[in-house]
Amino acid sequence: MRGGNIRRVSLSGFVLLTSLWMAVAVAQPSPDANAEELLRQAQGLETSNFAEFSVVLQKLNSDAITLSPDQQMRVRYLNAFQLAYRGDSKASVRLLNDVIEHSSDPTLRLRAISTQINVLTLSARYEEAFTRLSQLLDLLPTVTERRARQQALGVASLLYTEAGQYDLALSYAAQMRDESPSEDNACRADYATILALHTSGKFPTGDPKVAQAISGCVGAKEPIFSGFIRSFLASDEIKHGRPHQAIKLLQVNLGSARDTHYPRLISEVNVVLAQAYWQTGDVDRAEQAALAAAATAIKNEYTEPRTQAYQVLYQIERQRGNFAAALDYHEKYMAADKGYLNTVSAKSLAYQTVKQQVLAKKLQIDALAKQNKILQLQQALGKKAMEAGRLWIILLVLLLCSIGFITYRIKRSQLKFMKLARRDGLTGIFNRQHFVGEAERLLQYCRKSDRAACLVLLDLDHFKQVNDTHGHAVGDRVLRRAVAACQAHLRSTDLFGRLGGEEFGVLLPECELDQTLARVEQIRLAIASVSLGEDAPNVAVSASFGVATVANSGYELRQLMTDADDALYEAKREGRNRVNLSSSRHVQLSLV
């Protein structure tokens, strides 16, 4: 899809990087080392040399080593780390639960919770991860060991970034930086800060601190962190129309990224290269980089590099006229984008759910404490007059009513959060994910009842110039006025959603083609009048429209969107501010 595609970042493997922040100086095992020495060696090898770490851990697990209860708990934590590293998340979580519940060492418990949050996040168990995060933050003030605190603060910062709580993420990144002036800790804190700013769309363009952060991570021998920061900087160069600068930056980064053998970094660098080559018109190199990004993306996982790689490949094949291949990539792009949005929504909803649960639990504890106090007072005053007893009963009823009211407010807040997950934050209409789901359901209804339906895609013309000339605040007002202009001509049964940036979709059920074209023309004229409003004086606004009907394209949403998108592209090419009808006709097969 064209227009206003906001850069997003897949964070689900970045959280695991926080487990790499506990490494200390590398030590070599000796045959006659005692249990405490072996434990120190294992903690120094767990991230720097995993094979040697496994050898030391095997010796610790052998019958020849006598361990104290505290040492046994530390070995149990190291076994859990080994299981997590090898991908056995279930067994790792079980061992970590044992350490968290039975260890008397707050530092070890903090490390175990931090590691478990990583494992739960990578296993898509987001609600459990945020529950553990609440426990981690409660335990953090009792721990003084610097590396454990740095790991916990890093986990908190990255997990809050995943949930879209960027102010909290930046706050914990700042606390992490204050923990230690060391070069490696500064690199990790800079990475957490820049990641939060990049993900929130507030990348510090032109800030020399970004280059300093890259140099610091290179000096600290942290190629993964320096590689990701370079990719963020390259994305910002592309966003500001400097693709050649992005290519120059990433060509140097690609080799070091491959040397890390870290798939997420390699895929991220390749997809940003593909976008830069596409903007410069180097189609062959864009295709090569996009294919590499898709190939190195983690299998069976929806990430942003995979989604954007499919988008670039779709644009390339469509430009070449290979419509079959373009349709195939477009289908993959939509599936990957939908999966990614589902993951993002799940994380945000998990954060809000746990937040409400913690609040409800606190209110419940407070209410129980108050009830206990009231019961004690009632027992103490049991010998007094009946009138005093009735007074306390009335107070108890009022308290219970207030608790019920608070519980009702909490439930209403939860329903409000669920509603917000379906709506676009700027315009208030359906977001892309909910629009696609509802459109597929409505098209199936129309198919079963043999009813007509039309899909309309519209894109505001030259909207980037509005933002560049008048600022994003005026651009946002223009978007809201355009949406209001559309809604004035839509029925209650029509679906209306924002697909991304300045592109919108409308599904008109039980609407024939001639009716659709007449209504779309009314919408086109209404949008053109937006410039007359007081909120956007002297701002010329128009929109191009692509229309597809089930009579030609069938009832499959992806085909309707492809045909409507092609029609929209023709409308743009023919001069914009016009309505174009898809001329594609697809044979529909039905089983009797």
Q: What's phi and psi for 431, nearest 5 deg? A: -80, 175
d(CA 23, CA 47): 6
CB 137 within 8 A of CB 175: no
CB 111 within 8 A of CB 147: no
Q: Do domains 1-202 and 231-320 have the same CATH topology?
A: yes
Q: Are strands 543-549 and 495-500 parallel, antiparallel or unpaired?
A: unpaired
d(CA 275, CA 238): 8
d(CA 194, CA 239): 16
Question: Does the structural domain 1-202 have CATH classification 1.25.40.10?
Answer: yes
**In 361-520, where do the E strands start and end?**
453-460, 495-500, 503-509
Which fold does the domain 432-581 belong to in CATH? Alpha-Beta Plaits (3.30.70)
pLDDT tens, per residue, the chain with 592 residues = 433 343 444 444 444 454 444 433 333 344 334 778 888 777 766 555 667 777 877 888 876 567 888 888 888 888 888 887 676 888 888 999 998 988 888 998 998 998 888 888 777 787 888 888 888 888 889 998 888 888 889 888 888 887 788 898 899 889 888 887 788 788 888 988 998 898 888 888 888 888 888 888 888 888 888 888 988 988 998 989 999 998 988 887 778 878 877 777 888 899 899 899 999 999 899 899 889 888 876 555 557 788 888 889 889 989 988 988 888 888 888 876 666 555 555 555 656 665 655 555 555 555 556 666 777 776 777 677 677 667 778 888 888 888 877 777 767 766 555 555 678 989 999 999 999 999 999 999 999 999 999 999 999 998 888 888 888 888 899 899 999 999 999 999 999 999 998 999 999 999 999 999 999 999 999 998 876 556 556 778 899 999 999 999 999 999 999 999 999 999 999 999 999 998 866 533 332 2
Cα 471–Cα 477–Cα 480 angle in degrees, nearest 5 = 140
d(CA 532, CA 521): 18
Reported pTM = 0.51
Under 8 Å CB-to-CB from 73, ≥6 apart: which residues?
99, 102, 103, 105, 108
d(CA 135, CA 158): 16
What letter represents residue 212's amino acid?
Q
CB 278 within 8 A of CB 300: no
Domain ranges within the chain, ordered by starting residue:
1-202, 231-320, 342-420, 432-581
CB 176 within 8 A of CB 188: yes
3-state secondary structure of 270: helix
User: What homologous superfamily does CATH list for 231-320?
Assistant: Tetratricopeptide repeat domain (1.25.40.10)
